Amino acid sequence: MSSDSTTASTAAFVEQLLARMTLEQKVGQMLQPERMAITPDEVARHHIGSVLSGGGSAPGANLPADWIAMNDAYWAASMRDEPGRVPIPLLYGVDAVHGHGNVLGATIFPHNIGLGAARDPDLIERIAQITAREVLATGVEWTFAPTLAVARHLYWGRTYESFSEDTALVASYAAPFVRGMQGDLGEDSVIACAKHWVGDGGTTDGRDQGNTVLPESELERVHMAPYLPALEAGVLTVMASFNSWNGVKCHGNRYLITEVLKERLGFDGFVVSDWDGVDYLSDDPAEALAIATNAGIDMFMVSVKWRQYLDLLLQHVRTGVVPMSRIDDAVRRILSVKHRYGLFDRPRPAERKWSQVSCLGAPEHRAVAREAVRKSLVLLQNEGEILPLSRSARILVAGKNADNRGHQCGGFTVAWQGTSGNQSVIGGTSIWEGIREVAPGAVLSEDGSAADAAAHDVAIVVIGETPYAEGMGDIRPPGLAPLGSSPAGQPAQLSPYGETLELRLLHPEDLAVIRAIEAKGIPVVAVLVSGRPLIIDTELQHTAAFVAAWLPGSEGQGVADVLFGDFPFTGVLPFSWPRIATRWPSGYGL
């Protein structure tokens, strides 16, 4: 974290490299285009420092071999040793935020909200270690995780990416995650990225990319605090946040990025922008890029307009709008991270240790994910101690989320907005498949129409939300304009998930199934698959037992492990649970 963590050898290596680099080569290192917008040959010609996969952006058939081939080609291009080039290995980044979610067959862990319910920092470290191996098995070196958001408003579509509303709980996970992911920065390690700096979980009414209105003391106490253990653990990158703080966009806030994060807190890795986050600083791209660069952003995650950024940055340096010292500082940080990670000494992706191992979805990985599911479950109601269930009971399983691995994984799984059905989440078990394993006599009837009191002792009804990500998951009360990050306030046209947290209004189909089964005299055990607490007072009145399962990921079997008593309920709510549909002082939030 402090300058002495950048050993003298790294500093010396970086200086000699920097001295050999032209301005074009330096500026190229500061760009991170999306894979669909740049070829390996363009990476070589323009000295590009990094490439990313956005959510769901995958090569070929989206199998490890396709990823390794892609990364090998980008790496080789970045290492071309020819006149006018300085070979500098490229970093490939991806959102492995609950396992290597983009890739078919990967182990998908519960999203962070469920891990928050587990209250288990050691588990977090093990999950990060496993995720690192599955990321390395695809030739990727960098993940945009952990999310250290402290979500303070359940309207936010990214609530599930937050471990908790409680700062201390989020902070307790930061260092274990970084340790698990970055390890000793050796061949089993992946570069981590603490995000999003800062205050992403505190926006008014939980609007994604909105405005966090707080005095600095509160911003520090609630939202900055989890970064301290991450920095102490040596996190190598930090991602700037889309939100504003007191009306100023974080991407253009020199005080937050340079004075606080880099100077006061001593962060000596590099800061990466979020997806085109610079665009929202001004309607004039040149002005926006100048503001962001001078604010302290070191690398630009620029989905497609990387050529424009290249030209503008060169122009800004040549006209003095951006001092050369800022460019050198950014490139020093990027090269230093690459050197500390050992990237200059690693073989090409195709020849690395984990590229030879097909560890994606390995049984021992899935076993840890299943353990995480068990530990994430929170028992909200258990009338007459109906739980745990007997394996010999005559069980009906119903609900739209019962046999749907896509739904139980949520966003950032194979696709940015997640998927539906079982076919795209290869491996793992749906909640129904897990129940059937334990109680072979169980019957699946998604709409509950097969319910028959003469044939069924109890019904397990799996209900809740369907997948979403970011602003598409926002709950926006009528009349609240969608905010988004547009510069002059033009609303980002993201359609919200709904207008209320009341499940009976958001998904009336769930209560309908519950009541139809209850009307036949069969007791109902409800299992809620959701990215956040929802208002379920009506559903509670019509169910005997109620379990919060959050977004359990690929190992739905973990739910059956607890429903049938092989393991106890140990999960504890990571968020306050709303009881009534009235606006809290600041909306449905703290």
* Contact set with ligand GLC (CB under 6 A): 54-55, 95, 144, 195, 274-275
- Rounded CA-CA distance 30/26 in Å is 7
CB of 263 to ligand GLC, least distance (A): 25
CB of 411: closest distance to ligand GLC in angstroms?
A: 10
Residues 496, 238, 191, 426, Cα dihedral to 10°: 0
Specify the residue, 145 or 513, whose C-beta has the smaller distance to ligand GLC: 145
Please report how close the Cβ of residue 251 comes to ligand GLC at its closest, in angstroms.
11
- Write down the least CB distance from residue 182 to ligand GLC, Å: 17
**DSSP-assigned states of every residue in 295-355:** HT--BEEESSTHHHHHHHHHHHHHTTSS-HHHHHHHHHHHHHHHHHTTGGGSPPGGGSGGG
Are 100 and 66 in contact, with CB atoms under 8 Å apart? no
Cα–Cα dist 223/574, whole Å: 16
Amino acid code (one letter) for 84:
G
Compare residues 55 and 574 and give the one whose CB is closer to ligand GLC. 55
**Cβ contact 282:288 at 8 Å:** yes
Q: Quote the least distance from Cβ 56 to ligand GLC, whole Å.
A: 9
274 is catalytic: yes
Burial class (CB in 10 A: 0-12, 13-18, 19+), 523: middle
Catalytic-labelled residue, pool 120, 134, 371, 470: 470
Shortest distance in whole angstroms from residue 104 CB to ligand GLC: 18
If the CB atoms of residues 160 and 432 are measured against ligand GLC, the closer one turns out to be: 160
Residue (196 or 340) nearer to ligand GLC, CB = 196
Q: Which is nearer to ligand GLC, 95 or 561 (CB)?
A: 95
User: Both ends of the chain: CA-CA distance in Å?
Assistant: 32
- Is beta strand 244-245 parallel, antiparallel or unpaired with respect to 248-249? antiparallel
Q: Residue 195 or 340: which CB sits closer to ligand GLC?
A: 195
Can you spell out the DSSP letters for 361-393?
A: T-HHHHHHHHHHHHHH-EEEEEGGG-PSPPTTS
In whole angstroms, the minimum distance from the beta carbon of 21 to ligand GLC comes to 27
* CB count in 10 Å sphere of residue 521: 11
Give dist(CA 588, CA 315) in Å, integer.
Answer: 47
Q: Which amino acid is at 356?
A: Q
Please name which of 292, 200, 191 lies closest in space to residue 237, comparing C-alpha atoms: 191
Angle at 438 between CA 436 and CA 443, to 5 degrees: 30
Distances (CA, A) of 239 to 31, 65, 129, 225: 14, 29, 21, 16
> Structure tokens of 20?
């050999």
311 catalytic residue (yes or no): no
When the beta carbons of 193 and 327 are compared against ligand GLC, the nearer one is 193
Query: Exposed, middle or buried, 379 (CB in 10 Å: 0-12/13-18/19+)?
Result: middle
In 3D, which of 442, 436, 430 has the Cα closest to residue 395?
Answer: 442
Residue 195 Cβ, how far from ligand GLC at the closest point, in Å?
A: 6
Residue closer to ligand GLC, measured from CB, 5 or 57: 57
Judged by beta carbon, residue 159 or residue 429, the one nearer ligand GLC is: 159
Among 274, 298, 371, 555, the active-site one is 274
In the complex, what is the shortest distance from the CB of residue 364 to ligand GLC, in angstroms, rounded to a whole number? Answer: 28
What is d(CA 9, CA 12) in angstroms, rounded to the nearest whole number? 5
Least separation, in Å, of the C-beta of 124 and ligand GLC? 18
Among 346, 443, 380, CA closest to 573: 380
Tokens 């793992």, located at residue = 428
Q: At CA 228, angle to CA 15 and CA 157, rounded to 5?
A: 110
How are beta strands 31-33 and 50-53 bridged, if at all? Answer: unpaired
Amino acid at 521: G
Nearer to ligand GLC, 144 or 267 (CB): 144
- Catalytic residue numbers read 274, 470
